[in-house]
Amino acid sequence: MRFVWAVVAFLIAAVMIGAGIAQRTVFEGPSTETQTIQTDGSAAYTLIDGAVLTRLPGAQTVTAEGDGAVFAAYGRTADLRAWLADTTFTEVTVDGEGAVSNATSTPTPTPTSTPSPSASAGAAADEAATDGESAGDDAAAPVVRNPAGSDLWLEEFQGDGSLTMPLQLPDTMSVLLASDGSEPAPSTIVLSWPVLVTTPWAGPLIVGGSIVLLVGIFLYVLAIRHSRRSRGPRRKGLPMPVTEPIDLAVEGADKGVITSGAPASRRSVSSRRRALVVVPAVAATTLLFAGCSADAWPDLASSATPTPTETVIVPEGQQAPAVTENQAERIVSEMAATIASADAAGDAGLAATRLGGAALAERQTNYTLRAAIPEHPALPAIPASPVEIVLPQAFDGWPRSVLTVVENDADTTVAPTIMLLTQEDPWSDYKAMYVASLEASTELPDVAASYVGAYQVPPDSGFLSLAPDDLAAAYADVINNGENSEYWSKFDTQGDLLLAGIQANKDQRTADLAQTGTNTAEIAFESVAGSQEPFALATLEGGAIVAVNVNDNDTVKPTNTDAVIKLLDNPAVKTLTGVEESSTGFFTTYSDQLFFYVPAQGSSEQIRLLGYRSSILEAKVIP
């Protein structure tokens, strides 16, 4: 009967293990779902909408195949559409029933430079600004441009003939495919998504079958043992004559008598055979266990209680941040490399591709002076990394800006650099409009996270202790009049190194002129608001970080008609004016790029200077 039960156990084990293995092999469904898209290959760009990518849950893999170079990038859908607004492209979309299709989209009106929404305008102004992106009645003519290297992309990929990209994008992001902007985009696109295949009974069946197999082996061994012990009764032998005892010690050695060790050897062989029977079964069971992954078992775990985490609340109506942190790091790195090349070559045209406003003006002057005066110092380099602070403007339109603070990996003794970067339109690179060095021991105010961003404070805002439009003129008045300025009490002047430096320069130059003892010349100083527009981004305390431009002017002129002013120890002014002396005098301008923290209206805090950069801007002969 034991043999019967052993055979039954073997059959049950075979069925269970076979069923479990079949669930993981022949009965297991496909691990991916694939969607092949074929376009007509006529347009230079193809936009795969985010709704197509998220048609199925999980990560997406995009494969593009074409002739020659293959380019792909992803970014926010609104940004990609703005970039494609003036050209023809193929758009891949999905309808309400999940059917994927593609069609050619014609140019739409070019996005215009829409003013950033104000804090008080709220969602209504934001919506109007977004609508303004497509303002205009006439569609622009299609244009050809290479998409590689655009600051709009969150990430880009390039290949030859074929390109495969593993992605995990939300429905608010899309993918752009192209070649080089002039050749047609890849015409064959394959999208694939992983399909979660679970076989929750495969593990229990395999393990249960293995246990039944072991039981069957055990029953089989017991049956064999029982069979050997229960053989039928033996016939009684004939009576044997009485014999003399045999001396085994003598006789056995010569006649080959089997000793008592022989039964022990048979038992040893038998034990090894049993072991050989059991070991393969255990080994097979171990292998089966190893092949059972987590998805081969039922999910019996109770749902875990979620751990509460800190929630960042985005203000209602606030738009998306201009850049992500990774995007800002890439932009700063590329900007630093470009400006380093421009500095080395003294190429103002190359510098203009990554600089604008006051930052470009000071470098143009510096290149002119360095070309004529070999010993004239270069301006501090733009550091590439690490980017410590990224505060993007929360705005969907253009121009859009981002504030960054970058440390200097190459020289830790150099003060961090604070910059305001601005992108004028979807097709332009970000340019540094203001560049300055943070003051020693500067404490920056608390700012929003990079993935939230901050709104631009309007230039005439009444919610700050001083409107951004008035900040440059007020600080210039403090420079001119010191404690007699009506704005003196609004500024924290105790740690203001620029203010102290400007005053020391005034005193030194006045003293130098007085030492001549001729009384034939006079010098005058005046600071005024610069020509660059102020820009302010809100902080968490209700204040703002404001970038402004102040010009420090000094005028040196003779006091009588017979005197002349000679430039004996001023090669910079001599180079910029092209003369060595003048009977009418010289007018010199120094440009100050300034970053302030301006507290909210009603705050007891004072306006603090966060960072500055001061350098000669121009010099001319007084007419």
Distance CA 363, CA 379 (A): 7
- DSSP annotation of 355: B
Distance CA 226, CA 203 (A): 34
CB contact at 8 A, 595 and 550: no
Which one-letter amino acid corresponds to residue 304?
Answer: A
Where does residue 354 rank: exposed (0-12), middle (13-18), buried (19+ CB within 10 A)?
A: buried
Q: Which residues of the chain have pLDDT under 70?
A: 2, 23-24, 26-31, 108-142, 196-202, 231-315, 516-518
Q: What is the pTM of this model?
A: 0.78
Query: What is the per-residue pLDDT for 128?
Result: 40
Tokens standing for 48? 């795969």
Residue by residue, DSSP assigns 16-51 as HHHHHHHHHTTT---SEEEEEEE--S-SSEEEE-HH
Query: What is the per-residue pLDDT for 221?
Result: 82
Pairing assessment for the beta strands 89-94 and 45-48 based on DSSP bridges: parallel
Looking at the DSSP bridge assignments, the partners of residue 591 are 551, 615
Query: What is the per-residue pLDDT for 137?
Result: 43
Query: What is the per-residue pLDDT for 458?
Result: 97
Distance CA 60, CA 355 (A): 38
CB contact at 8 A, 463 and 600: yes
Pairing assessment for the beta strands 155-167 and 431-438 based on DSSP bridges: unpaired
Distance CA 604, CA 512 (A): 41
Cα torsion 366, 367, 370, 371: sign? negative
Query: What is the per-residue pLDDT for 119?
Result: 38
Q: E-assigned strands of 121-264?
A: 155-167, 173-178, 188-194
Residue by residue, DSSP assigns 515-577 as HT----EEEEEEEEE-SSPPEEEE-TTS-EEEEEEEEEEEEEEESSTT--EE-SS-HHHHHHH
CB contact at 8 A, 598 and 468: yes
Query: What is the per-residue pLDDT for 268?
Result: 47
**H or E element at residue 590:** strand 586-598
Query: What is the per-residue pLDDT for 409?
Result: 83
Residue with tokens 């998220």, as numbered in its chain: 54
Cβ neighbour number for residue 153 with a 10 Å cutoff: 22
CB contact at 8 A, 17 and 209: yes
Q: pLDDT by residue (tens digit) across 289-319?
A: 545 565 556 665 544 555 555 555 666 778 9
At residue 487, φ and ψ (nearest 5 deg) are -100, 0
Which one-letter amino acid corresponds to residue 40?
Answer: D
Query: What is the per-residue pLDDT for 514?
Result: 80
